[in-house]
C-alpha cells in the first residue's frame, strides 16, 4: 500500500511540474530572452489573444512607479495580473493591453506593454508597442512661459515723448526638449529642440532692440554640485551660440548656470531609474531674460 501511495505522490508531483513547465511555454509571445539582456529579441503577442476582451484603462501613477528590480508581487500590486495566459513559474514575460485617453481631443490610444524579468525573476526591462506609448507616462510638461513685464523708471523729470519704452521678456523652455539627456553641446541639439530655439529666436527678434540678454541653465538633482553647475553653464552657452547664429544680438549676453539649486518639482524617489528621470524632467530647463527697447 505504501508503495502505491508513493507512486501516486510521485505521479502527482510529476504532473504538477509538467503543468508548470508547459504553462509558460503556451503563454510566451515568441521573444528570445538572453541571460543578461544584451541580445534579447522582443516579440509582442497578438493583442486579440488576450484573455481580456477589451483593453483596460491603467493607473498611470502606478505605471510610473514600475522600476527595475521589482518582483512579480510588486508588479501585481501596481497593475494587476497580465492580460495574457502568462503563467507564473519560470515565466519571464508579462504582457498587458492598455487604453490611454487623451483629454485634449477625447481620442483613445491602445498600447501594448511588456515586462521582462531577469532569470532571478526581478524586473529587468519594459517595452511599449508602439514605442511612442512611453510618452503617455511623462508628467505634464511645464509649458513654455512668456511673461512680459513693463519696467517703470522713476525720474525727477518727465520723460520725453520720444523716449523708448523698455520691456523685459522672460522665456522658459524645457531643456529635455532641446538637448539629448545629459548632453550640452550644439551637436547635441535634438530636431525638436532646434525648432523650439527657432521660435524663441523669432520671438526675441520681434520684441525690439535687445539691450541686455541673460541666459540661465538649470539641471535636476542627479549628480554632484560641480557637475551640474558645469552642465548648466555649458547648456546656456550652447543656447547663446545658437541664438547668435539666428541673428539675435548676443554681444552683451551673460551666460549663467544655476545647477540644481532652483528646482521646479521635488521627487521623493531615491533610486536612479527611468521613473525618477521622468519625474525630474521639469527641472532640466533654461530661461532667457531679454531687455528690449522699442519706439513708442
Ordered domains of the chain (ranges, CATH)? 31-137 (3.30.1450), 145-152+161-294 (3.30.1330.60)
pLDDT reading at 175 higher than 80: no
pLDDT confidence band for 164 (50 / 70 / 90) = low
Query: What was the pLDDT predicted at 28?
Result: 46
The mean-pLDDT minimum among 51-55, 110-114, 222-226 falls in: 51-55
Query: What was the pLDDT predicted at 141?
Result: 52
Q: Is 111 helix (H, G, I), strand (E, B) or coil?
A: strand
User: Highest-confidence range of 127-136, 142-151, 182-191, by mean pLDDT?
Assistant: 127-136
> How many whole angstroms from its chain centre is CA 99?
19
CA–CA–CA angle 178, 171, 254 (5° rounding): 85
Q: How far apart are CA 126 and CA 189, in angstroms?
A: 27
pLDDT confidence band for 29 (50 / 70 / 90) = low
CA–CA–CA angle 59, 279, 118 (5° rounding): 70
Eight-state DSSP code of residue 280: T
What average pLDDT does this structure show over 140-144? 49
pLDDT confidence band for 178 (50 / 70 / 90) = confident
Sign of CA dihedral 85, 89, 93, 98: positive
Using alpha carbons only, how large is the chain's radius of gyration in Å? 28
Bridge-based pairing of strands 253-259 and 209-218 is: parallel
pLDDT reading at 105 higher than 70: no
Q: What percent of the chain has pLDDT above 90?
A: 12
Q: Which three cell numbers stand for residue 266?
A: 521635488
**What is the tens place of the pLDDT at every residue in 69-101?**
889 988 988 898 899 987 767 889 999 999 998
Amino acid at each position: 500500500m505504501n508503495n502505491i501511495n508513493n507512486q501516486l505522490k510521485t505521479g502527482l508531483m510529476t504532473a504538477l511540474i509538467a503543468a508548470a513547465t508547459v504553462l509558460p511555454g503556451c503563454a510566451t509571445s515568441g521573444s528570445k530572452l538572453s541571460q543578461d539582456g544584451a541580445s534579447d529579441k522582443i516579440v509582442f503577442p497578438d493583442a486579440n489573444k488576450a484573455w481580456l476582451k477589451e483593453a483596460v484603462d491603467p493607473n498611470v501613477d502606478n505605471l510610473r512607479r514600475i522600476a527595475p528590480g521589482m518582483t512579480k508581487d510588486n508588479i501585481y500590486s501596481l497593475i494587476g495580473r497580465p492580460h495574457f495566459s502568462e503563467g507564473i513559474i519560470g515565466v519571464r514575460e508579462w504582457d498587458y493591453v492598455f487604453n490611454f485617453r487623451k483629454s485634449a481631443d477625447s481620442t483613445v490610444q491602445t498600447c501594448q506593454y511588456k515586462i521582462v524579468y531577469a532569470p532571478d525573476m526581478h524586473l529587468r526591462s519594459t517595452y511599449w508597442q508602439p514605442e511612442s506609448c512611453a510618452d503617455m507616462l511623462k508628467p505634464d510638461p511645464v509649458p513654455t512661459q512668456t511673461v512680459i513685464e513693463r519696467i517703470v523708471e522713476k525720474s525727477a523729470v518727465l520723460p520725453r515723448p520720444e523716449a523708448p519704452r523698455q520691456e523685459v521678456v522672460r522665456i522658459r523652455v524645457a531643456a529635455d526638449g532641446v538637448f539629448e539627456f545629459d548632453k550640452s553641446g550644439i551637436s547635441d541639439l535634438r530636431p525638436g529642440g532646434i525648432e523650439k530655439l527657432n521660435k524663441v529666436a523669432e520671438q526675441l527678434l520681434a520684441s525690439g532692440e535687445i539691450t541686455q540678454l541673460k541666459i540661465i541653465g538649470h539641471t535636476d538633482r542627479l549628480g554632484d554640485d560641480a557637475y551640474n553647475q558645469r552642465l548648466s553653464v555649458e547648456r546656456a552657452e550652447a543656447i547663446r551660440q545658437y541664438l547668435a547664429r539666428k541673428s539675435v544680438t548676443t554681444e552683451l549676453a551673460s551666460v549663467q548656470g544655476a545647477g540644481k539649486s532652483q528646482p521646479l518639482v521635488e521627487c521623493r524617489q531615491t533610486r536612479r531609474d527611468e521613473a525618477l528621470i521622468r519625474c525630474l524632467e521639469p527641472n532640466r530647463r533654461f530661461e532667457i531674460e531679454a531687455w528690449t527697447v522699442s519706439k513708442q
